[in-house]
Amino acid sequence: MASTYIFGHKSPDTDAINSAIIMAEFERLNGNDSAKAYRLGELNPETQYALDYFKAEAPELLSDDLTDKDVILVDHNEFQQSADSIESANILHVVDHHRIANFHTAAPLYYRAEPLGCTATILYKMFKEQGFEIKPQIAGLMLSAIISDSLLFKSPTCTEQDKAAAQALENLAGVNAQEYGLEMLKAGASTVDKSPVEIINADAKTFEMGDYSVRIGQVNTVDVNEILARQAELEQAITETLSGAEYDIFVLVATDILNSDSTILVLGKDKDKIAKAFDVELDNNTAFLPGVVSRKKQIVPPITAALS
């Protein structure tokens, strides 16, 4: 039975899963043998590829009530993104690279946040500061998380520290970051087995912007035609989502991970305002956005400005 629960956010991505495993190793090296990694949702195919490649076991799905349990959060802090019983847990430590919001504790704790591209980069620094050995498997998981969050170092969220960590980890893990990274991203980028509803919801977040409630989904792909060929059924799924009246506008961002561009598919009220945000016009509800890959840095800010 674990006495310290370590986990990343709901709808886990590779950084959320791998950072939990890495942090459990950090705790063990610090003498905390009862630390154990958990996950708050299903693994995506990209993460599964990384775990298989580096022969790492997937964390167990968290089902325990955390009341009065010792927990460590990685890659998130906002309670609505965390375990349902987080408010009654004893949070010992947080390692994260996001803003801090909807988070509070009753007691002093360890909190390590840095505005870097990836939580695993912070964990890499923590291992180095302590002089801990980074085993090839742990190095591979760190590298995979950095590649995932930075889309192979192309996202504007990627910092020099993320790149420097990745360079050191490449040697420790014994892989070529470009070759391995592309295979890993491709493993997560196939949409052929997914239903339209799965595609539009897989990585969707809701934003309140001016008087609009905007749902923005993002899907990685190595061939944007895989998405565009299914435009009719995707539009039908989006229209059904919009009819629920919860959202005013839906923006599906199909990101080409090979060329670092995106194509958006926009439906809903005043959809032309979305196109205007990027100085383009919608053609059959779609528009091409060269050089755009980051929802956080390149999609949300211009749409927020256009709708506010």
Structure-token match 């997937």, residue found: 58
The piece of 96-104, 141-149, 196-204, 258-266 that touches a copy of itself (CB under 8 A) is 96-104
Least Å from the CB of residue 143 to a copy of itself: 21
Residue 117: helix, strand or coil by DSSP? coil
- Identity at 183, one-letter amino acid code: E
Cβ closest to a copy of itself, residue 157 vs residue 262: 157
Smallest CA-to-CA distance from 68 within 17, 25, 107 is with: 107
Residue 308, token pair as written in the block:
């506010």
Q: Is 93 annotated as a binding residue?
A: no
The answer to whether 296 contacts a copy of itself (rule: CB under 8 A) is: yes
The yes or no reply on residue 304 touching a copy of itself (CB under 8 A) is: yes
- Are residues 61 and 39 in contact, defined by beta-carbon separation less than 8 angstroms? yes
CB of 18 to a copy of itself, least distance (A): 19
Task: Please select the residue that binds a copy of itself; options are 30, 34, 105, 176, rule is CB under 8 A.
Answer: 105
The span from the CA of 217 to the CA of 204, in Å, is: 4
Structure tokens at 109: 């704790």
Instruction: Examine residue 164 and tell whether it contacts a copy of itself (CB under 8 A).
Output: no
Q: Find the angle CA(94)-CA(97)-CA(99) to the nearest 5 degrees.
A: 90
Q: How many CB atoms lie within 10 A of CB 169?
A: 26
For position 261 contacting a copy of itself by CB under 8 A, the verdict is no
Distance CA 153, CA 116 (A): 12
Q: Which segment (112-120, 220-228, 230-238, 270-278) binds a copy of itself by CB under 8 A?
A: 112-120
Give the separation between CA 190 and CA 292, rounded to whole angstroms.
20
- Residue 205 touches a copy of itself, criterion: CB under 8 A: no
Subset of residues 120 to 159 that bind a copy of itself, contact rule: CB under 8 A: 129
Between CA 14 and CA 187 the distance in angstroms is 12
245 is a site residue for a copy of itself (CB under 8 A): no
Q: Given the complex with a copy of itself, which of 108 and 244 has the nearer CB atom? A: 108
The answer to the question of residue 301 lying near a copy of itself (CB under 8 A) is yes
Does 113 bind a copy of itself (CB under 8 A)? Our answer is yes
| Interface residues toward a copy of itself, by CB under 8 A | 97-115, 129, 296, 301, 304
- Binding-site residue ranges for Mn(2+): 9, 13, 15, 75, 97, 149
